[in-house]
A = this chain, B = another copy of it.
């Protein structure tokens, strides 16, 4: 049962016999798995008229509490993008009537963002479908194996971040 990464490792082995390319086995699979997952999730998003970055914003707003408003700066931090990218995402979402912007009463320079009723309805419809896709992706692994995977990834993440 060889996969694409196995073939690549064999090529390296043949071409550069002295080189220890074993890290590629792990990181190569990680990258390719992430890419594959991304494209599978994209299918679910599309069924709801969303894409990954739109879902990201709406989900962040939903989980931050239906009755709260959050600032563009917080959104930027959550999504690891610039505040300018956030402004441009919000422009689109606002045009579609999915989010609303209001002046921040505590800071005249600021803005607060929240889901509209339409936006809330949309993300609440998409979320269970999204989770179902994630569950399907992970289904080849037992619960314990999923937990082990999360733990190993967390150990790398701690060091990387």
Contacts and interface: CB of A to CB of B under 8 A. Distances in A.
Nearest to A32: B157
A33 B153 contact: yes
Say which size band chain A's interface belongs to.
35 or more
A152 interface: yes
Q: Is chain A's interface secondary structure helix, strand, loop, or mixed overall?
A: helix
A131 B37 contact: no
A1 B13 CA distance: 39
Contacts of A62: 15
Interface of A: 1, 3-5, 8, 11-12, 14-16, 19-27, 29-38, 40, 62-66, 80, 127-128, 131, 134-135, 137-141, 145-146, 148-150, 152-161
